[in-house]
Structure 1
Amino acid sequence: MIKANQWARIQFSFFFYLVFFGIGGLFPLLSVYFKNEVGLTGGQIGTLLSIGPIVMVFTQPLWGMICDYTGKPNRMLILAVMMTGMLGLGYLVLDTYAGMLVLAACLAAFQSAIIPTSDSIAMNFVHRAGGHYGNLRLWGAIGFASATWIMGELAENLGMHVIFFGFAASLWACAIIGLKLPKEEVSFDLDLRSGLSRLIKMPRFSLFLLATFLIFGPVQANNTYFGLLFQHLGGTVAGVGLGFLFAAGSEAPFMRFAGPWIRKWGMLTVTLFATLVSGIRWLFYALEPSLFWVYVTTVSQGFSVGLFIPAALQYVRDLAPKEVRTTAISLYAAVGTGLGNSFFTLVGGYMLDWIGISATYLMYGLSTLAGATILMWVKKLEKFKTEPVRS
């Protein structure tokens, strides 16, 4: 008979698989939809897809505060998942650019709660019941990878509209799984405003947020422009999905072994290594290589994203005061998947129009290497730290 904690791990795995299946089936192909089906320019695509991350900058910390204050993150998570799936269908009925901007903002307001809240619940669970977060989160990488391939094939054969139905169905199924997740309460022992003040005043936390902006912003923006890069090099919509399958699929095995590597080398060392791999990849894409080499190098995403996510998340969680851990994770997500994503998606779109896709990826590479430099600074501060990092 399956024990309670083992069953909970299975539920978390299904949850991450489904939520990232929905995300992976929609957002990597959304820029292709806007360009080929709606006829938007690179600047319009960049503006439209940067609205959501801007909204996330404000709503992710708000969701974190609500979860911290109420101690009911599971209920907030289910609400966010249900509404996100419903709003995703709105693109099928809108035919104006202004309407799409409003929809993107509303969609992001609810979507912004999903990843940081589920991450916080999962992290609290593994610290209470044992195990590694990476073993749960890797199913998200598998879901994202399988969705890009499956939905890419379906979009090629049935039409681009299928990506919106797949998105909604996946998230609604995810909400059903979410009803059964363990109820992980968030403690609220000290004043929240005081805790936030403590976070911002910690040099390592502030610098790590800046590094996350420079590193993870391009990672997220790549989900927008990789499809356009692939088509620029002569690929098809189905080929875009296959490329994402190789890229996102490579994350799972690295997430599986991230825990032992983090224990052996340390969170910052693993994060720095992942960052350097990511920066080299973007610079290589700026050279506009052949499709063969794009396919080959997509597996480097396992080293970069597959290691960066669990190592960075654990560092933020361990660095934050206990009473604002969910808020700290939300701030971290807001800076990377929110502000960073917005900036690099917006600027990348205009650079696509003005210079070309190679300039977009050159900017991403240089930004990532700048982030690596800041991580080295944070690593140096570890030797002189005054506030202990919890392990």
Structure 2
Amino acid sequence: MSYWQLSSVYFFYFAVLGATNPYWGLFLQDEGFDAQDIGSLMAIFIATKLIAPNIWGYLADKTGRHLKVMQLGAALTPLFFIGVYWQQGFWSMAAVMLAYSFFWNAILPQYEVITLRAIKGREDSYSKIRLWGSVGFIVAVAGLGWVLDFLSVQILPTAILFIMLGMGLSTYYLTEIKRNCLSEKKIKNDKFLKYLFRAPVICFLFAVILMQLSHAPYYTFYSIFLEEYGYTRTSIGLLWSLGVLAEIILFWQMHRLLKIFNATTILWFSLFVAAVRWFFMGASPESLWVILLLQVLHAATFGSFHAASIAIVRQMFPDRHAGQGQAVYSSIGFGVGGALGAWLSGWMWQNWGAELSFYFAALAAFAGAVVILVSLQVSRGAWLASYD
């Protein structure tokens, strides 16, 4: 598969996130939901990551049809998203978000497997392919930010639906790449749980949970937060874009960083940077220069953290369990951390306010850095071992 075939799916997938992450909270607010409702709805949406990726990952590994599983998810996601047009309140909105996100969560973990197999032997090109996801995010967030200064936020579902359709079409230009097979006996006796319950894997997943929990106030309320401080929606879109632009530059150079530092070092450093970012976001929201600098730090808190995590998952799980490995990273890390964080951030935002919510986020990220550093001291050899 060509560079552009692989890149196009990332472009559309993350363009959907560029349309939803910054603006879905504003849409829900316009629909009459309060902060606690918004936090709960986002928690329900994210909670599907606890189950859905593992179901899809198991099916993909069992059948060897990672591409077909991903294409099914890409086709059914927009079909169920259409229900947004007929929702009548909290529970109907929750049902729609639950349904479409179940299929949405079939896409990325399996596509990571497809991409890594397609570039086997030249893994340093992963970040240059993945950066097109960041480009898609910027195009969506900046474009919609400008549009929403002139049009009602009620157009948002239609914009998201069209991007989803583009994503679905982009998956049909791909071809399945078969895994390297072992003997049936070896595969049968080689259980996924043997790899999952190793101490470094548990510590890694716990750190991912804490990192995603720390991002929850940002992903759920950042646009509302900025709007309360007088920023226009164009400015909000540009601030989101700045963070992702920094992420693109990071992805472009990530292969160099991974040659200088191991993935685990990059992981704990990213967690520490996140703690700094959230602390000052709570302390200095009125300063544009501080906000600009904190958005640049997105390169570390998402970009380097994600790239290092993908490298660690690939190292910790053999190819025959690659789909489930990526699914666990998505479901446990993003599902538990994201859902718990979204629910907590909704409660904290309503009862404690923005400042304390971001201080809590800083504490969570710092705790994640400590978990990785302590685990490295106890079992450094197990962290660096490859199990493929």
Decide: shared fold, TM above 0.5.
yes
Report Cα offsets for 1:77-136 as digits up to 9, x if no partner: 111112222333322221221101111111210111111111111112111565521111
The Cα shift of 1:372 comes to 0.4
**Counterpart selection for 1:9 from 3, 8, 18:** 3
Task: Measure, in 2, the Cα distance between the counterparts of 1:250 and 1:388.
Answer: 31
Task: Measure, in 2, the Cα distance between the counterparts of 1:361 and 1:107.
Answer: 29
Q: Which residue does the alignment assign to 2:249?
A: 253
The Cα shift of 1:252 comes to 0.5
**Counterpart selection for 2:306 from 306, 309, 324:** 309
Structure 1 ranges of 4+ moved more than 6 A: none
Contact 1:250 1:302 in 2 (8 A): yes
Q: Which residue does the alignment assign to 1:126?
A: 119
- Alignment partner of 1:370 is 2:363: no
- Alignment partner of 1:358 is 2:351: no
- Alignment partner of 1:239 is 2:235: yes
- Please, which runs of 5 or more residues in structure 1 have no aligned partner? none
282-291 vs 303-312, greater mean Cα deviation: 282-291
Task: Measure, in 1, the Cα distance between the counterparts of 2:134 and 2:81.
Answer: 21
Task: Measure, in 2, the Cα distance between the counterparts of 1:352 and 1:192.
Answer: 49
98-107 vs 83-92, greater mean Cα deviation: 83-92
Task: Measure, in 2, the Cα distance between the counterparts of 1:295 and 1:130.
Answer: 32
Contact 2:128 2:252 in 1 (8 A): yes
Contact 2:215 2:341 in 1 (8 A): no
Count residues in correspondence: 384
Task: Measure, in 1, the Cα distance between the counterparts of 2:141 and 2:173.
Answer: 27
Task: Measure, in 1, the Cα distance between the counterparts of 2:363 and 2:101.
Answer: 28
Q: Which residue does the alignment assign to 1:157?
A: 150
Percent identity of paired positions between Structure 1 and Structure 2: 18
Contact 1:211 1:371 in 2 (8 A): yes
The Cα shift of 1:75 comes to 1.2
Contact 1:18 1:171 in 2 (8 A): yes
The root-mean-square deviation of aligned C-alpha atoms, in Å, is: 2.0
- Alignment partner of 1:226 is 2:219: no
The Cα shift of 1:345 comes to 0.5
177-186 vs 259-268, greater mean Cα deviation: 177-186
Secondary structure of the structure 2 residue equivalent to 1:289? coil
Q: Which residue does the alignment assign to 1:30?
A: 24
The Cα shift of 1:310 comes to 1.0
Alignment of 1:195-206 (within 5 A): 195-206=191-202
**Counterpart selection for 2:56 from 50, 63, 67:** 63
Q: Which residue does the alignment assign to 1:114?
A: 107
Task: Measure, in 1, the Cα distance between the counterparts of 2:79 and 2:356.
Answer: 36
Q: Which residue does the alignment assign to 1:323?
A: 320
Contact 2:281 2:294 in 1 (8 A): no
- Please, which runs of 5 or more residues in structure 2 have no aligned partner? none
Task: Measure, in 1, the Cα distance between the counterparts of 2:373 and 2:115.
Answer: 29
Contact 1:230 1:291 in 2 (8 A): no
Task: Measure, in 2, the Cα distance between the counterparts of 1:85 and 1:374.
Answer: 39
